[in-house]
Amino acid sequence: MLINMRLKLAILFVMILAQACAADPAAREALQQKLRSSMNGSVVTLRQFFQGRYLKFDSNGDPIDPPKTNTWTLDSKLNVSDVEVHERKIMIKGRRLAVIFEHGNAMQY
Reported as half-sphere exposure (CB side, CA atoms, 13 A), residue 77 has a value of: 14
> pLDDT per position in the chain (109 positions), as tens?
455 666 666 666 666 666 665 668 899 999 999 999 999 999 999 888 999 888 998 888 888 987 899 999 999 999 999 999 998 899 999 999 988 887 777 666 6
Q: Which residues pair with 43 in a beta bridge?
A: 79
Domain count, the chain: 1
Q: Hey, CA dihedral for 1, 67, 11, 72, is it positive or negative? A: positive
pTM: 0.70
Range of the structural domain that residue 73 is part of: 2-106
Give the span between the Cα atoms of 2 and 9, in whole angstroms: 11
3-state secondary structure of 101: strand
